[in-house]
């Protein structure tokens, strides 16, 4: 009886243990979802940016996590005489996990202000506010008390306390970011240097996070530190783009580091714009004690598509056979990043 009870409980325990390990969603291609990383990234890197993200994880172990996100951010004011500018953004994401369809759906609005430190650098601060809804389908769950000695019997009382299947809460975030952008004077010289470094905090209000309405179960605050760099190798088509992300939520932490290697396939025509610039990047990141991520990014004019795959390296490897999750990201930015610029567009 114990063996069969554990058989029924295994998918449930797996679902809830995974949820407890990482209460928030995350994307391996973190640069392709800027507003889930730091609200101050609104308008920090481009005049306009639109992102779409999809992630499918743990299909090889149980019912997969499916995460979908969409967001946009833009500069609101950009006067050449001004020492700074306002920027804003909106983002939405939905996450479903396991047989119970345990879900998180959230929408946010961000507002940021960036001051110009030099011709090539800015310092910005941003705030974010939104609403979060959590949901679960109890009918899809099976409990040990519903085992009648021979089979699972859904008519039996699960003996679980009465609870709600969805609730809504207010959420907040704040952050700061420093951006450096020295575009090359001549594209063929490839002497560009770009960088951004930021820190952010999510859930400072620590909303209640329990379907059972227990007052001591709060959503932990999350702290993030992140950075990205782009270093052109002079007089070549190759650039190196290392990056990192560190986040801590409650007693858990994530350390994620790696690099991409970018090769410019084609340069945009200087005057007519009839020839569209393009580049291809490939590389990898390592999430300590969890996974190694292989990633590729194709950029064409204002558009980009990124694909990544997590190879599981954690203790779950015996069950997952190393298979983690695939992720696809789409991006549109304006102005066209392949046009020659002699200075940063701050």
Strand partners, 247: 224, 254
Maximum average pLDDT range among 14-28, 150-164, 218-232, 312-326:
218-232
Higher pLDDT, 211 or 92: 92
pLDDT digits (tens, 9 = 90+) for 62-117: 567 889 999 999 999 766 557 899 999 999 999 887 777 788 899 999 999 999 99
DSSP reduced 3-state for 8: helix
pLDDT reading at 279 higher than 60: yes
CB count in 10 Å sphere of residue 63: 18
Q: What is the mean pLDDT of the chain?
A: 83
CB 134 within 8 A of CB 211: yes
226-263 per-position pLDDT tens digit = 999 999 998 889 999 999 999 999 888 999 999 999 99
Alpha-helix residue ranges (DSSP H) falling in the chain: 2-21, 317-320
Instruction: Please compute the mean of the pLDDT values over residues 270-283 and round it to a whole number.
Output: 80
Instruction: Give the single-character DSSP code of 64.
Output: P
| pLDDT the model gives residue 3 | 40
Establish how many alpha carbons lie within 13 A of residue 233's alpha carbon, considering only the half-sphere containing its beta carbon.
10
User: Alpha-carbon distance 333 to 77, whole Å?
Assistant: 17
Residue that the structure tokens 């640069």 belong to:
31
- CA atoms lying within 13 Å on the CB side of residue 118: 8
Q: What is the pLDDT of residue 1?
A: 39
Of the ranges 38-52, 73-87, 113-127, 145-159, which one carries the lowest mean pLDDT score?
Answer: 145-159
* Res. 13 pLDDT band, cuts 50 70 90: very low
Fold of 2-334: Porin (2.40.160)
pLDDT of residue 46: 94
Q: Would you call 342 exposed, middle or buried from its count of C-beta atoms within 10 A (0-12, 13-18, 19+)?
A: exposed
* pLDDT (0 to 100) of residue 343: 39
């Amino acid at each position: 009886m114990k063996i069969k009870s554990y058989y029924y409980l295994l998918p449930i325990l797996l679902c809830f243990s995974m949820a407890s390990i990482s209460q928030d969603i995350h994307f391996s291609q973190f640069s392709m979802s800027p507003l889930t990383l730091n609200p101050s990234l609104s308008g920090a890197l481009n005049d306009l940016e639109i992102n779409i993200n999809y992630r499918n994880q743990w299909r090889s172990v149980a019912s997969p996590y499916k995460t979908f996100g969409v967001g946009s951010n833009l500069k609101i004011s950009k006067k050449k005489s001004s020492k700074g500018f306002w920027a804003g953004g909106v983002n939405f994401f939905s996450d479903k996990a396991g047989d119970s369809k345990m879900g998180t759906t959230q929408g946010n609005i961000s507002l940021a202000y960036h001051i110009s430190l030099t011709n090539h650098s800015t310092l910005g601060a941003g705030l974010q506010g939104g609403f979060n809804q959590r949901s679960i389908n109890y009918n899809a769950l099976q409990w040990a008390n519903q085992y009648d000695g021979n089979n699972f019997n859904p008519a039996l009382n699960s003996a679980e306390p009465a609870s709600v299947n969805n609730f809504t809460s207010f959420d907040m975030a704040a952050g700061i970011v420093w951006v450096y952008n020295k575009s090359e004077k001549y594209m063929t010289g490839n002497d560009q240097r770009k960088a951004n470094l930021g820190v952010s905090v999510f859930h400072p209000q620590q909303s209640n996070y329990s379907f059972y309405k227990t007052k001591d179960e709060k959503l932990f605050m999350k702290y993030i530190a992140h950075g990205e760099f782009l270093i052109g190798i002079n007089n070549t088509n190759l650039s190196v783009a290392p990056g990192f992300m560190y986040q801590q939520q409650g007693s858990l932490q994530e350390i994620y580091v790696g690099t991409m290697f970018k090769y410019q396939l084609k340069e945009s025509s200087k005057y007519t714009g009839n020839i569209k610039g393009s580049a291809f990047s490939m590389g990898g990141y390592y999430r300590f004690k969890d996974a190694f991520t292989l990633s590729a990014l194709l950029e064409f004019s204002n558009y980009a598509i990124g694909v990544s795959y997590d190879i599981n390296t954690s203790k779950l490897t015996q069950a997952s056979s190393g298979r983690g999750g695939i992720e696809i990201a789409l991006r549109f930015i304006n102005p066209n990043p392949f046009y020659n610029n002699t200075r940063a567009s701050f």
